[in-house]
Each structure stands twice: as structure tokens, then as C-alpha cells.
Structure 1
């Protein structure tokens, strides 16, 4: 009975630990993805404005 309790406790601890590690990975990854998305959007806007400026200067 003690061995069964030990295995049940270990399985529960592993499951909880895995959930915590998953959240520790998922949350920072989503945050970094949002930051990079914002950076790409601002760079796209900057490139578009430079292209428009180049078109105005050439005409």
C-alpha cells in the first residue's frame, strides 16, 4: 500500500510539474511573439513610408 501511495504521489507531482513548466514556457513565448509582431509591423510601416518618399522624389 505504501508503494502504491508513493507511485500515486509521484505521478501527481509529475503531472503538476509538467503543467507548471508548460505554462512557464508558453507565457514568455507568447509575449515574445507579440513583441516581434509589433516590431515587424513598425518596420513594415517604416519601409512603406520610405518607398512612398522615394516615389515622390522620383516624380
Structure 2
């Protein structure tokens, strides 16, 4: 999810930062790998889309 001028991977509560990166692509790559290792889903948000709507299946990574 966007955080200021960086892209962050956070836990589902949206508060606890896991890792951040300067680009969306780098953050997504790191987040996908972390999600795979932990066996959890990974949701990619757009800068203008932080709604609580359900994630689309193409946005999810399962371990």
C-alpha cells in the first residue's frame, strides 16, 4: 500500500510495517515472497484505492 512517497507491505491491520520500498514493483515483489513464505495472502493496492472491498483473485498470493 502507498505510504507517503514509498510503497509499504503491512500486516492486515494496516499499522504494522513489514517492509517498504521506493517503487510499487519492488514492494510487490518483496511482499509476494514474504506472503509465500508465511502462507498468507498478499493484496496489492493502488495509490487511489484503499477501500475495504474484497481483494480480486489476481491480487492474492497463497503459500
- Does the TM-score normalized on the shorter chain lie above 0.5? no
TM-score by length of 1: 0.29
Report 1 or 2 for greater relative contact order, CA contacts < 8 Å, sequence distance ≥ 6.
2
TM-score by length of 2: 0.27
Larger Rg: 1
